[in-house]
Amino acid sequence: MNSPKKIVFVTGTRADFGKLKSLMNVIQEDKNFELHVFVTGMHMLAKYGYTCEEVENANFSNIHKFINQNVSDGMDHVLAKSILGLSDYVREIQPELIIVHGDRVEALAGATVGALNNVLTGHIEGGEVSGTVDELIRHAVTKLSHAHFVANEEAQDRLLQLGERLESTYVIGSPDIDVMNSGMLPSISEVKNRYEIDYDDYGVVIFHPVTTELDDLQSHIDILVNSLISSQRNYVVIYPNNDHGSELIFKAYERIEENTFFRIFPSMRFEYFLQLLKNANFMIGNSSAGVREAPHFGVPTINIGSRQNNRVTLPSIANIAFDENQILNAIQDVDKKSCKEVTVFGDGNSSDKFYKILQSKSFWSMEKQKFFVDLK
């Protein structure tokens, strides 16, 4: 009898864990595979809600926790520490496959360790674009990875432009659509009770630093907070990720901590966040959730600044500059009733497609030596 194939999932944020969870589930349920979860990044920081506990509560097997940063570390230091920690872990357990997601430094660390240790590496949601250093990281992860599980054909086309083999790219959709369509989300009353949210009408705010525009970050966050206060609407605010500049955002949020129009959270369980978003009047900020999850629920998005540049453009997304009048006008004009649900990131069967691919012998015989494929 063959030993089960060891598969390591690398998760560094609340967001990527939410997307990877359905893929982890199908692996854990099959005795031909042995699931391992390497938990690091924001998960391990108390300031962001110590969300490693959420991973542990999901009852996955073989969870390994690793602290890869402190608050003063730059992204390059975090990358170096992540590589060191994951490399030791990979050498210890000798996996057949490493799975990484998206465009964070933990994904880059996972792909680097896989490439340099000759371990098959799969990348979830490569081939997408954005307006920050995240895009550079995402494409670097693509070049270091062997297999690519993309959200749509447009992303697949970009991978082919990057010289990837068509045979190693698989269109499976975005795994978070599995969760959104599952019918397993908590009720909105459960969400409000858990997080003590009293609003019936509210907007969701997520604003991240743009690491290539740090000189402007102070004015940008001041403009956003001023606009939110002036609008006199109710808001649920969720902390940014831990990129450079996040401390400026935390400082700005001190102005609204005692304001009854605002509820602020370091993090929120993924399923609870989805239900909260589904019932919101709108989303505002610069999070990818505004261009991915919100349109799927028919929730309008006020997207501010450059962070989502070149991403999908839909009628429900208003792209505006950092200008108080523009932001206030956008808030005033937002109309959820006129928005239709739009899905451009899959049909909710990502985990089934992923599982079927991993069951094929051809996947496991994939060459680890990569060659650049020129466009004809």
Tens digits of residue pLDDT in 98-128: 999 999 999 999 999 999 999 999 999 999 9
216-234: per-residue pLDDT in tens?
999 999 999 999 999 999 9
For the entire predicted model, the pTM comes to 0.93
- The per-residue pLDDT for 278 is 97
Contacts of 281 (CB under 8 A, 6+ apart): 201, 202, 203, 233, 299, 300, 334, 336
Confidence band for 85, pLDDT divided at 50, 70 and 90: very high
Q: Which fold has domain 5-179+347-364?
A: Rossmann fold (3.40.50)
Q: Check residue 11 and give its pLDDT.
A: 98
Q: What pLDDT is stored for residue 215 in this prediction?
A: 95
What is the rounded CA–CA span in Å between residue 226 and residue 238?
A: 17
Give SS3 for 238.
strand
Share of the chain above pLDDT 90, in %: 85
pLDDT score of 361: 94
- For the chain, what is the mean pLDDT? 95
- Per residue in 25-70, pLDDT (tens digit) is 999 999 999 999 999 999 999 999 999 999 999 999 899 999 999 8
23 touches 112 (CB < 8 A)? no
Task: Provide, rounded to the nearest whole percent, the portion of the chain with pLDDT above 70.
Answer: 99
pLDDT in the model for residue 312: 73
Q: Can you say whether residue 371 is alpha, beta or left, with left for phi > 0 and alpha for psi between -120 and 50 degrees?
A: beta
Residue 336 has which token pair? Answer: 């959820």
- Reported as a pLDDT band with limits 50, 70 and 90, residue 142 is very high
Say which amino acid occupies 185: L
For residue range 315-364, list pLDDT tens digits in order.
999 999 999 999 999 999 999 988 999 888 888 899 999 999 999 999 99
For residue 283, pLDDT beyond 90: yes
Taking the domains of the chain in order of start, what are their residue ranges? 5-179+347-364, 188-338
How many residues does this entry show for the chain?
376
Nearest to 233 by CA among 314, 302, 287, 290: 302
Three-state DSSP state, 297: helix
Pairing of strands 33-39, 63-65: parallel
In CATH terms, are 5-179+347-364 and 188-338 the same topology?
A: yes
| Distance between start and end Cα atoms, the chain | 44
- Residue 270 to residue 345: CA distance in whole angstroms: 18
Residues facing residue 35 across a β-bridge: 7
pLDDT score of 131: 66
Query: What is the per-residue pLDDT for 158?
Result: 97
* pLDDT of amino acid 134: 85
Residue 201, burial from CB neighbour count under 10 angstroms (0-12, 13-18, 19+): exposed
Identify the band that residue 87 occupies on the pLDDT scale cut at 50, 70 and 90. Answer: very high
* CATH fold group of domain 188-338: Rossmann fold (3.40.50)
Mean pLDDT of 205-219: 94
